[in-house]
Structure 1
């Protein structure tokens, strides 16, 4: 069990910067209630020290030094361990302007709190055992969710869906270790061979479970971070029009003049629950325009970094040398080829295109008419979910750190299996199994180093 060692009382503004109807200052630690008692006066004269846990009281925030009323507020006290951090927590809900929030925060700091570090409230929840590390990471995933699907995955992980799977696997591996160590401790019973055979079967079963979790990793990562999607093609084929159609707003400038888009335009769009980080690039062509040339080079760089490439071609024009040059950029990349302007008389030879496209999906669309866009959205969903990963209640791996730990665990289990097959003694098998058990513990935080913990929580905002 992790242990919270800091006795500091921390304070921070927990709501987003800017104006809003309500703003919240959060204080956590042994001095939280005493600090609130010095600056809050209920409308009926009630002091913070007399407020029951989880009771809401309306009153004023008053500067104890000058007697000045700073703002009207609602005070909520959540006494530990029945709180987010398992410490005493005070939340001051005031008007959501930057001035009252800053004044109230300054008062809490003057009265004995210190400014919280990024993610320190959630870090304290982890260190006190309120959350494990995978659940703590899910908190930031919820905050950053871009679609309902990504939110469902994050909420599932916060509720412990993934953690439960990991803990079950660790328990199974621990049983394997115990079985082998029993064989080591009682050599006269001659059970080493039988124990190794039983463990081999259990390893195969555990590795299959890890394989199922890893099969969700690519989809989970995309739901968490977005599918990096680049729209490419020669100038004036409708790239910016496609971006606008997917966004359902006029984000990019659209003209009949080739080379209008010179820089990179990046936006997020929700495609059937999948967050697409969609990038409209400059048309790829030979140009003497210095600015446009830089845009073309950046477009080529983005192609190599993309998860998905949407290549636009013009149905009303024959396949050109510029089109072929863009097709060559797709080598080894996941791409969908879109033949735009399909509402116009076609001059494009589709048989010729299919040969150049290889086994890639080719869709006819008309951005101006809206034709084929539903089919494009379905094709993107099929690519992401790979036909077998659903958005149900099953555990999702949506974190690169978790996926890496699972891969290393699988590798150590395979090494343990190879050790058994080589007829090595049980203590050699135990070495690999214990390494696998420890690697899984990094996901939940049971065996993770302090440097990794610190690195994870620095990604959080202050106040969470």
Structure 2
């Protein structure tokens, strides 16, 4: 599905850098570059062999002036990212040369690429399926090595391979059942339905295994949103600094130092932790601090994990009990800080109120309990299972939703079999499951959904 128009965009990040790249893709990419590039000894873009680079200059055709010194890379169809002719102009990475060269490519007949359009063309031209295309943005946004390994695994097609095996199995069942419809002897129909039932149950188990990776996949992709909460001066900012392994938050003995939330990412055993340090919860007349306390409470319902901090050397306060009331149905770790001091806190009252929450004794000052805390966070991210190093992860809501719909269709097929329904009724449910799985890879997906997915990409990718 080669597009008729040629697109152009800056493919590198905004700002100053040693190198900037303008990328063109389409039938006129080499022709446009030929009109702008003057190589050493008169070489043009058309003279450059595929996957070869040439040194020269970009010339403004209107004034015949040199715009910048560049390297020009040509990748001819179909051996390119988009499976179209692709030209990359590597110039100096300042805003002025990048803007000028981009303007020249547009004036020469290209149009500005839409967000994600290069990857969209790679998908439409069959170089990538939709799970691989989605993995491209995950590679770009990866925050830890584990996030990157997951994204690269999906980019290599591991999730897509699993989905295609499921679709192949469903298609074989459909063919078998339709054959039974064409030869409507009762014993043949019953045998075909019985065999399909066994295979459908195995497919449901396989889909459930994939869905079980969605929790970890989302966390590795987006980060585990973690809120540190507690009364003032309990050690919240010190914990943030300890998890970040740097001084990010101001730490003093004065209660109410943190008046607003602070958000940072930490790498905990490969799990990207989006940590939110909040204002200490207490009654206050300070207007700014009061706003911070309200914001702290608002984070609780939306957080993936709450780190509720208590002071081992102080009795349970009204503020502590107010927070306990908010945590009943939230995933929470209770951290009893200052465990190096003589214990005063009555933990029995805490466990009575939150009997199912894990309690860790820590001392941020001495560094004790921190390894156990990090291991608890890792276990939560991976659901208590052994970490899977690469690939095969369901890592966004779209994929998980379609898998769940496919599972529901398969379960409806099982119900039809149990009710003694004819094979054509079973086939309807199987085709629905087959279609939903195809939407994950993009084989049966509408153009409007495809457009929506690629708008999440940056321009130039």
> Do both proteins adopt the same fold according to a TM-score greater than 0.5, normalized to the shorter chain?
yes
Which of 151, 169, 172 in structure 1 is aligned with 2:169? 172
Give the structure 1 partner of residue 355 of structure 2: 358
Aligned to 2:35: 38
RMSD over aligned Cα atoms: 1.1
Q: Does the 8 A contact of 2:313 with 2:339 survive in 1?
A: yes
Report whether the alignment pairs 1:185 with 2:197.
no
- Structure 1 unmatched ranges of 5 or more: none
Counterpart residue number, 1:427: 424
Q: 2 CA distance for matches of 1:176 and 1:102?
A: 56
Contact 2:26-2:84 at 8 Å conserved across structures: yes
Among candidates 303, 312, 316, match of residue 313 of structure 2: 316
Q: Which residue number in structure 2 is paired with residue 223 of structure 1? A: 220
**Structure 1 188/418 Cα, relative in aligned 2: closer, same or farther at 3 Å?**
closer
Structure 1 residue 387 displacement after superposition: 2.0
Partner of 2:246: 249
Shift of 1:65: 1.3
Matched, 1:409 2:406: yes
Pick which of 180-189 and 298-307 moved more.
180-189
The structural deviation recorded for 1:54 is 0.4
1:389 Cα deviation after fit: 4.6
Q: Deviations over 1:79-117 (max 9, x none)?
A: 000000000000001111111111110110010000000
Distance 1:299 1:216 in 2: 30
Question: 1:189 offset after TM fit, Å?
Answer: 7.1
Scaled by the length of structure 2, what TM-score is found? 0.98
Aligned counterpart in structure 2 of residue 436 of structure 1, from 424, 433, 437? 433
Q: How many Å separate the matches in 2 of 1:282 and 1:171?
A: 54
Aligned with 2:397 (options 383, 396, 400) = 400
Give the equivalent residue in structure 2 for 1:108: 105
Q: Give how far 1:239 is off.
A: 0.6
Give, in angstroms, the shift of residue 359 of structure 1: 2.0
Aligned 8 A contact 2:150 2:393 in 1: yes
Q: Any conservation in 2 of the 1:55–1:77 contact (CA below 8 Å)?
A: yes
Other-structure match for 2:229:
232
Q: Distance in 1 between matches of 2:281 and 2:11?
A: 45
Q: Unaligned regions of 5+ residues in structure 2, if any?
A: none
Q: Which residue number corresponds to residue 207 of structure 2?
A: 210
Counterpart of 1:300 (choices 297, 300, 306) is 297
1:113-128 aligned at under 5 Å gives the runs 113-128=110-125
Q: Secondary structure at the match of 2:120?
A: helix
Matches within 5 A, 1:81-100: 81-100=78-97
> CA 1:134/1:252 → structure 2, altered by over 3 Å: closer, same or farther?
same
Tell me how far 1:254 sits from its aligned partner. 1.4
Matched positions, count: 461
Taking the aligned partners of 1:436 and 1:164, their CA distance within structure 2 comes to: 16
Structure 1 counterpart SS, 2:353:
helix
For 2:457, which of 446, 454, 460 is the aligned residue?
460
Deviations along 1:33-61, one digit per CA (max 9) or x if unpaired, are 01111111112221111110001111111
With over 3 angstroms needed to count, the CA separation of the structure-2 counterparts of 1:426 and 1:87, relative to structure 1, is: same
Alignment of 1:319-338 (within 5 A): 319-338=316-335
Q: Please tell me whether the aligned partners of residues 38 and 59 of structure 2 are also in contact (alpha carbons under 8 angstroms).
A: yes
Of 287-296 and 437-446, the range deviating more from structure 2: 287-296
In structure 1, what is the Cα distance between the partners aligned to 2:444 and 2:230?
A: 49
Q: Which moved more, 1:214-223 or 1:391-400?
A: 391-400
* Equivalent pair of 2:57/2:68 in contact (CA under 8 Å): yes
- Tell me how far apart the structure 1 counterparts of residues 416 and 70 of structure 2 sit (CA, whole Å): 65
> Residue 54 of structure 2: which of 53, 57, 64 is its match?
57
Which of 135, 142, 150 is matched with 2:147 structurally? Answer: 150
Dislocated runs of 4+, deviation >4 Å: none
Kept after mapping to 1: 8 A contact 2:233/2:255: yes
Partners of 1:233 and 1:159 in 2: how far apart?
44
Task: Measure, in 2, the Cα distance between the counterparts of 1:355 and 1:409.
Answer: 42
Q: Distance in 2 between matches of 1:72 and 1:338?
A: 58
Provide the C-alpha distance between the structure 1 equivalents of 2:356 and 2:48, rounded to a whole number of angstroms. Answer: 68
What is aligned with 2:128? 131
| 2:22 pairs with 1:25 | yes
Residues 318-357 of structure 1 deviation map (CA, whole Å, 9 limit, x = unaligned):
1112111111111111000001111222211233333233
Whole-Å separation in 1 of the counterparts to 2:212 and 2:185: 43
CA distance in 2 between partners of 1:255 and 1:45 (Å)? 68
Report if aligned partners of 1:41, 1:62 keep a CA contact under 8 Å in 2: yes
Match of 2:269 in 1: 272
TM-score (norm 1): 0.98
